[in-house]
Structure 1
Amino acid sequence: KTTVSPDCATQRVTARFIEKGLMKEHISRIIEHYRPKRDAMLKALERYMPDGVTWTVPEGGMFIWVSLKEGVDTDKLFERAIEHQVAFIPGSKFYPHGMEKKNEMRLNFSYPTLDSIDEGIRRLAALLP
């Protein structure tokens, strides 16, 4: 769900949260929670992905963008990955029609546990040609 303008009450609460200096503390807690997951996914990518696969190292956000070798179609790979209980968003979903890059994907590290991150990347890598 997206919003252009939250209601006034939400805006006031958010403003007070920021004015009281609570936002910095909140962001610090979020970083402490998600950084280990990001790092676990990056280590798993390094460990399991074949040569020629590249990825971003995010400094913010919850996603890692992965570029596979040319010729790999992540729309088709997605179907196989789901059968192996692994999910990602095919990169084609982020491009205008007709300009899709079929060999890219977005991985999310916010939801899975540290153990499932490693196992998920191992399974995903095993599906690659």
Structure 2
Amino acid sequence: MTTTEPRADRFVRELAVLKIPDPAAARAVLWLRLGASLMVLGLVLGVSGYLVSHQTTDPLVQGDGLALGLGGIAASVVGSALFLRYSLTGFLRFWMARQSYDLNLLADRLLERDIRHDPTGNDAAPR
């Protein structure tokens, strides 16, 4: 199993064989951008709600400001969850493929070692 192909190139080739979808697919990027924009929008709504509620003495306007601020907080939490979920998905998908590759490589090495140390040359399963 001696090849002149670098390990990184072999890994990329085996990933292509496994048909693991690209983490930068259009739908994932859309949800990632939506999550980031919701985080920013939530921050803007929270600050504007704070400013609205503190610049008046009218309790009705203050209530509207508080509702606007709470809506901003909710948007930030949802945006953070979306952003975290879709950013970690891409990383963990690559990590799992890498783990699979490394375990396959380890299994091949152990199999070669067992065959090399078997004095009879039989491919019998170990007992």
- Report the TM-score when normalising by structure 1: 0.24
Counting helix residues as a fraction of each chain, which structure ranks higher? 2
Counting strand residues as a fraction of each chain, which structure ranks higher? 1
When Rg is computed on C-alpha atoms for both structures, the one with the higher figure is 2
- Report the TM-score when normalising by structure 2: 0.25
